[in-house]
Amino acid sequence: MSYNYSKLRGKVIEKFGTLGEFAKAMEWSERTNSLKMNGRIEWKQNEIVTASRLLDIKSEDINIYFFDVGVQRIEQIN
């Protein structure tokens, strides 16, 4: 399943200014942050809790930022 992290990305920019600053706050490399934000690797529960705390995301709003199901692209086969 693919998730859309555009709202999360916006919140990160709002709070930290850059994705790189957020990565530092999460104690991640910029590569790890990129992989998470682009849905290449999954978020662990403890990472979601930490990110939510850093971004002032209320527990009832976690779904909005971390579990927004993205639309998958399906390629046509000719």
Residue 57's φ and ψ, nearest 5 degrees, are: -95, 125
Return d(Cα 11, Cα 31) in angstroms, integer.
19
CB 41 within 8 A of CB 29: no
- 69 SS3 class: strand
Q: Does the global pTM surpass 0.75?
A: yes
Q: Is residue 26 part of a domain?
A: yes
Q: Is residue 28 part of a domain?
A: yes
**Residue ranges making up the domain that contains 53:** 6-66
Q: Is residue 76 part of a domain?
A: no
Residue 39's φ and ψ, nearest 5 degrees, are: 70, 20
Residue with tokens 């979601």: 48
- CATH number at 61 reads 1.10.260.40
pLDDT tens for each residue of 4-54? 999 999 999 999 999 999 999 999 999 999 999 999 999 999 999 999 999
Q: What DSSP state is assigned to residue 78?
A: -
Q: Is residue 34 part of a domain?
A: yes
Q: Is residue 47 part of a domain?
A: yes
pLDDT tens for each residue of 49-76? 999 999 999 999 999 999 998 765 545 5
Domains of the chain: total: 1
